[in-house]
Amino acid sequence: MSEAQRSRGRPRDLRKREAILDAATALFYERGIAATSMEAVAERAGVSKMTVYGHFPDKPALLEATFERNIAEIRLPELADQADLAASLAALIGFGERLISFLTRPEIVKGGRLMAASAVEHPALAAAFFAAGPATMVGAVAAFLRSLESRHLLAIGDPDLAAEQLIGAWLGLSQVKQNLGVAGPPSAEEISRRVRRATETFWRAWMAGPPQLGQST
């Protein structure tokens, strides 16, 4: 399909709206929310300031629209139930590698940082961001672990807490280092090593069952 055909098939207002959102997202990441003006967004998008205000009445509305679009584009990897423990371990490791690769992408780290900075002013947006991202990924891992426990393949005790702890071990300080500018995204080899080591460590604990703290062994 030619560029002309694509242009004819897409309403002009929609193209301008997407250009405005692209420009706003880039500027929010580069300059921060406070330092980004509607005029700067218009200039970056190649449209008039009136066009920007025609789509978004103010900067909070523009910020909300950028995050709503980002939230809608979140695509977490699938984690399907497996027939046996060996296949389940492999599936969990594969999921972890894909998830951490996604979470440590520069644009995802920047988006999380920007969302945190605006959470006080936009609590509903922050809640939607959390529900679509962190809560969904923890829920997926917890459901996977709960299924294995219900089949008596592992003794986990608290799948929800275990899912949070496992994802935290997968991620480590990667995002913190990126936010502080002391490191870039981890390599695929680094991610694989961290995810595999963490998963196998937790796996051994779950196979042995939760320790009975406070009791003699």
Summarised one tens digit per residue, pLDDT across range 37-82 is 999 999 999 999 999 999 999 988 898 888 888 777 777 778 888 8
Q: Residue holding tokens 């936009």?
A: 122
Q: Residue holding tokens 């999380």?
A: 112
CB neighbour class for 124 (10 Å; exposed up to 12, middle 13-18, buried from 19) = exposed
Summarised one tens digit per residue, pLDDT across range 81-109 is 888 899 999 999 999 999 999 999 998 89
Residue ranges per structural domain of the chain: 3-72, 85-208
pLDDT band at 5 (very low <50, low <70, confident <90, very high): very low
Q: What pLDDT is recorded for position 95? A: 95
Contact 45, 23 (CB under 8 A): yes
Summarised one tens digit per residue, pLDDT across range 157-214 is 999 999 999 999 999 999 999 999 999 999 999 999 999 999 999 999 998 665 555 5
Third-level CATH fold of 3-72 = Tetracycline Repressor; domain 2 (1.10.357)
Query: CATH classification of 85-208 is 3.40.190.170, yes or no?
Result: no
Q: What is the 3-state secondary structure (H, E, C) of 143-194?
A: HHHHHHHHCCCCCCCCHHHHHHHHHHHHHCCHHHHHHHCCCCCCCHHHHHHH
Instruction: Kindly provide the b/e burial profile for residues 154-185, where b requires at least 16 CB atoms within 10 angstroms of the residue's own CB.
Output: bebeebeebbbebbebbbbebbebbeeeeeeb
| Topology alike, domains 3-72 and 85-208 | yes
